[in-house]
Amino acid sequence: MAKKLYVSNSTGSSRMFKSNFLESLTKIHYSVPLIFWIPVICYFIYKSYSVGEMSIGTISFYFFAGLAFWTLAEYVLHRWVFHFHPTSSWGKRIHFIFHGVHHDYPKDRLRLVMPLSASIPMAAIIYFIFSIFFGEFTLASFFSGFLFGYLIYDECHYAMHHANFKSGWFKKIKDHHMLHHYADPERGFGVSSALWDKIFNSGFKKKQEENSKK
Is the distance from CB of 72 to CB of 81 less than 8 angstroms? Answer: no
Is the distance from CB of 117 to CB of 27 less than 8 angstroms? Answer: no
Cα(123)–Cα(177) distance, rounded to whole angstroms?
Answer: 24
| Mean per-residue pLDDT over the chain, rounded | 92
| pLDDT tens column, 178-208 | 999 999 999 999 999 899 999 999 998 765 5
| pLDDT tens column, 123-160 | 999 999 999 999 999 999 999 999 999 999 999 999 99
| pLDDT tens column, 92-116 | 999 998 899 999 999 999 999 999 9
Give the DSSP H or E segment for 86.
none
| pLDDT tens column, 39-59 | 999 999 999 999 999 999 999
Residue 181: strand, helix, or coil: helix
Q: What is the mean pLDDT of residues 20-27?
A: 93
